[in-house]
Chain A
């Protein structure tokens, strides 16, 4: 079993829809939870970052963490064609003084105009 599970998609939604992206994990030592957006042939871009259970909102994006269920989500409201990208969840744990980051495989999202 992978430490982090993420549905690879692809996920196609119409413009304006609410998008829900999810990841589950098995490692209780994960402390920080991130969502990255990666456009084709580009490096990942940090979208959201949280370290506690609950919701965190930033514009059209809401990150949700449920540590008891080992489940995190990213919601995108009023989705736009420019949101079309691969979304990677990532989680980190303290490992020898560093926060060792484990990434999900990414979910490819396509927002159709």
Chain B
């Protein structure tokens, strides 16, 4: 399966600061990447679909000005949580579609745990 990495794996920040999370596909080029958020004991919720060279598509209820997504290359997508608040503390996970291009078999990164104090 595809190898997806995320950096950092864990970040703690003060309220009001911005945090950038990187998602890299290591062994293939991904024109599409997905960003999920997972609160404790809850399911993964799709936040947005990141498209290389174009604007991301956000799910209903997700503030695009707060969660800035940049997909500048075929191997890198970044999620920036701007002016983070404690309620943004969560586990953020990115994924890429399967190698055959199907979005049904996604390969997930290891996740980034964000704690906002």
Distance A106 CA – B41 CA, assembled complex (angstroms): 8
Let me know if B111 and A42 touch, CB within 8 A.
yes
Contact with B along A5-17 (1 / 0, CB 8 A): 0001000000000
Q: How large is the interface on A (under 10, 10 to 19, 20 to 34, 35 or more residues)?
A: 20 to 34
Contacts of A49 in B (CB 8 A): 104-105
Let me know if B42 and A105 touch, CB within 8 A.
yes
Contacts of B6 in A (CB 8 A): 43
Chain A contacts to B: CB under 8 angstroms:
4, 8, 31-32, 34, 36, 41-46, 49, 51, 88, 92, 98-101, 103-106
Contacts of B73-97 to chain A: CB distance below 8 A: 91, 93, 95
What are 18 residue pairs bridging A and B, where the CB atoms are less than 8 Å apart in the complex? A31-B104, A34-B105, A36-B108, A41-B111, A43-B4, A44-B93, A45-B108, A49-B105, A88-B43, A98-B32, A98-B103, A99-B102, A100-B46, A100-B103, A103-B44, A105-B41, A105-B42, A106-B43
The tally of residues in B whose CB lies under 8 Å from a CB in A reads: 25
Residue ID in chain A nearest B109 by CB atoms: A43
| 9 other A-B residue contacts (CB within 8 Å) besides A88-B44, A99-B103 | A32-B105, A41-B113, A43-B93, A49-B105, A92-B104, A101-B104, A103-B43, A105-B43, A106-B43
> Which of the residues B41, B45, B107 comes within 8 Å of A8, measured between beta carbons?
B41
Let me know if B1 and A46 touch, CB within 8 A.
yes
Let me know if A92 and B107 touch, CB within 8 A.
no
Let me know if B49 and A98 touch, CB within 8 A.
yes
Distance A41 CA – B9 CA, assembled complex (angstroms): 9
Contact of A101 with B46 at beta-carbon distance under 8 Å, contacts A8-B41, A46-B1 already known: yes
Distance A6 CA – B97 CA, assembled complex (angstroms): 24
Let me know if B106 and A46 touch, CB within 8 A.
yes
